[in-house]
Amino acid sequence: MKKVNFENAIGERLAHDICEIKGQEVKQVAFKRGHLITADDHDYLAELGKQHFFILEEGDEHLVHEEDAAYTMFDTINNGDFTCTNVSMGKISFLANVDGFFKVDKKLLTDFNYMGEISAASINNMQYVTKGQEVASMRIIPLFTTTGKLNQIKNFENAKQMFKISPIENIKISQITTGSEVANGLIEDGFKSKLEQILDRYNLSVNDYSVVTDDKSLIEKSILEAKASGAELILVTGGMSVDPDDLTSGAIKGSGANIITYGTPIIPGSMFLYGVLDGTPILGLPGAVIFETKTAFDLLLPYALTNTEISNYEIMEMSVGGMLNG
């Protein structure tokens, strides 16, 4: 590939796109790759500040243009959960094929970029997306790469596990509200309307609702009854603090659930509990869920809705960015 000035470029075909950028208003392709340069192009190219151009030469067959590399990256990574945009200025974007939670394997994406000459980015892991939403974009850094680099991209191990969309099934959800003040009708259950609001974002609702007094054995009994009735997600609200009358965390543990964590490095929502009872996620919700816009519940609910395993360590990693109101 050679670099030539305008006079020597006349009659040659561009090996690259030429973009027009005007302030913050215009950014578009003015000349496409393959354009045959003529003398009439001089003034427009000069206005764009272009005086030299890349032209392909004999022997450049090993070079791969950024557009071709972008389509190869998409084909290598796509597992059927995505469609792609047309390549524009070297960049290709992944669009969700269905509504659901977007999952990204952080290590795979990091290793993919670490191969060099690649810029690949995505939205955050476990975000809810709708069909057609842009979730990732990527390109190669140079205008041209080599067939060797392209083969490295094609052979990237487990590439199709990098991005996934997990649709939300219409699962059966049980809500168990604890608190003698609610059970005795002294105050209204603030969790009920808040959970309706949160679950409605995913076209879900609570199927079974019950209220239990502050009695550990009764809370355990309600949890086991919810499990026996076929609940696929159990939400236990209230009583998650450290006061003497707060018994919910102990009741969840007493039900036989495996406690992934009681307490998170996420604020608000630090007293949140995540457990699993014979394959059914069971979440203990602190009072912050009622009053705050976003809590640990919002970050961890996607794992429960898609029955995606999460470890205590992964929850601890959420401490980075875990101050949600900051």
Digit-coded pLDDT (tens) for 171-191: 999 999 998 888 888 888 899
Give the residue with greater pLDDT, 81 vs 23: 81
- Identify the band that residue 25 occupies on the pLDDT scale cut at 50, 70 and 90: low
- Identify the band that residue 16 occupies on the pLDDT scale cut at 50, 70 and 90: confident
Q: Where are the alpha helices (DSSP H) in 20-104?
A: 42-47, 66-77
Is 55's pLDDT higher than 80? Answer: no
pLDDT recorded at residue 233? 98
C-alpha 165/C-alpha 130 separation (Å) is: 10
The total number of residues shown for the chain amounts to: 326
Give the residue with greater pLDDT, 57 vs 302: 302
How deeply is 23 buried, as exposed, middle or buried, from its count of CB atoms within 10 A (0-12, 13-18, 19+)? exposed
Q: Find, among 126, 78, 79, the residue nearest to 100 by Cα.
A: 126
Is 210's pLDDT higher than 90? Answer: yes
pLDDT recorded at residue 128? 96
Is 244's pLDDT higher than 70? Answer: no
C-alpha 257/C-alpha 28 separation (Å) is: 56
pLDDT recorded at residue 243? 67
Give the residue with greater pLDDT, 58 vs 9: 9
Residues contacting 247, CB < 8 A, separation 6+: 178, 214, 215, 216, 219, 239
pLDDT recorded at residue 60? 66
Residue type, 41: D
pLDDT per position as a tens digit, 94-106: 999 999 999 999 9
pTM above 0.75, yes or no: yes
Is 237's pLDDT higher than 90? Answer: yes
- Identify the band that residue 8 occupies on the pLDDT scale cut at 50, 70 and 90: confident
Sheet containing strand 233-237, edge to edge, reads 208-212, 173-178, 233-237, 280-285, 273-277, 258-262
Is 193's pLDDT higher than 90? Answer: yes
Contact 219, 160 (CB under 8 A): no
Give the residue with greater pLDDT, 127 vs 241: 127
- Count CA within 13 A, CB hemisphere, residue 134: 9
